[in-house]
Structure 1
């Protein structure tokens, strides 16, 4: 008589968690990127949270990490914003907590639209706020009628241009900054969103069959 088969156990598959400050712009962009790069998968829907300050987002990620397997990845995405909104000390606190808990940060200074702008042109200009960037940059020319709810999908070619432009911009910004400044929220303009996309690519290729 054949032995009964034991219940098959599903192999553990790591997950990639992303928590965003913005309710529309960042989630729309990241979700669109995932859907284009890894269609038909559940690689990483952006997790919704009512928390939206840098420290709060990191704390949400830390809490989630404590409830999930050790192979999962955790990122938070937020903007520098104006100093009167989030003081330097709050950004420093968020980064220290993230580093202590192996949480990665994708930050744009001064706003996520700096990253969007780089899909179309190089940039070295600092901006004081999203409104300032929208008023003084060519973003509204590149994307007619651009607003925070934009759902435009970007091509691989455009994203490749943005990656290259971001690296050049960051290098130039840091080279011209006060030598005592050693954290991304102190560098304007700056964005490392491409590092999040690189991490998604690496994770997806490794974990999606």
Structure 2
């Protein structure tokens, strides 16, 4: 009598899911980073920038939580949510506090930029210790547009898919500059206001990239 084969349960590959506030800028940058660090985009099936129409911190976290709690989602999957602090008038502290608490309670990682993702782009070219009150303030008063012009981008467009290729030479510098900037901002902050959304300038995009690099 032939020996009965034992059933072998196939282990599912864990997936890193990324939800972004921006419809173009952040997804374009992250997908280009994946392509750059994984020739042939071999990791595209296990690291995914998820499509979403949500664009506020709380909505994005809720979307990630819903996905994570779905019956078909393996417990090993990892979730990141990427959004900007934006101006206080647009997103008050209470909104960010709610998003932060929901994320923490449900094991969702956050990568916030204060005041906006363009701060991370600026760090590819220079160190920064200046706070900016809004996206418009950073675009108007930082040297980001000047740096991009030197790379051939004469008008900054959030939907420009070539931004990553223009800044990628400064990736290592950006990582170092982000750590230095964050430490300096935290050191000079009011001890009662040390949450990431209360620190300006501040960014956690390098932490997301580290998570991508270390994901297996």
Query: How high is the TM-score relative to the length of structure 2?
Result: 0.88
Tell me the CA shift for residue 176 of structure 1.
1.3
> What is the aligned partner in structure 1 of residue 207 from structure 2?
195
How far apart, CA to CA, are the structure 1 residues paired with 2:93 and 2:104?
17
Select 1:60's aligned residue among 36, 60, 63. Answer: 63
Which consecutive residues of structure 2, in runs of 5 or more, have no partner in the other structure?
A: 150-154
How far apart, CA to CA, are the structure 2 residues paired with 1:112 and 1:153?
13
Tell me the CA shift for residue 146 of structure 1.
1.8
Correspondence list, 1:1-209, <5 A:
10-39=10-39, 40-41=41-42, 42=44, 43-67=46-70, 68-144=73-149, 145-151=155-161, 152-154=163-165, 157-203=169-215, 206=216
Q: Deviations over 1:99-141 (max 9, x none)?
A: 0111000000000000000000000111111111111111011
Tell me the CA shift for residue 35 of structure 1.
1.0
How far apart, CA to CA, are the structure 2 residues paired with 1:124 and 1:116?
14
Query: How high is the TM-score relative to the length of structure 1?
Result: 0.91
Instruction: Count how many residue pairs are aligned between Structure 1 and Structure 2.
Output: 204
Tell me the CA shift for residue 3 of structure 1.
6.9
| DSSP 3-state at the match of 2:207 | helix
How far apart, CA to CA, are the structure 1 residues paired with 2:103 and 2:164?
30
| DSSP 3-state at the match of 2:86 | coil
| DSSP 3-state at the match of 1:108 | strand
Which consecutive residues of structure 1, in runs of 5 or more, have no partner in the other structure?
A: none
Tell me the CA shift for residue 166 of structure 1.
0.3
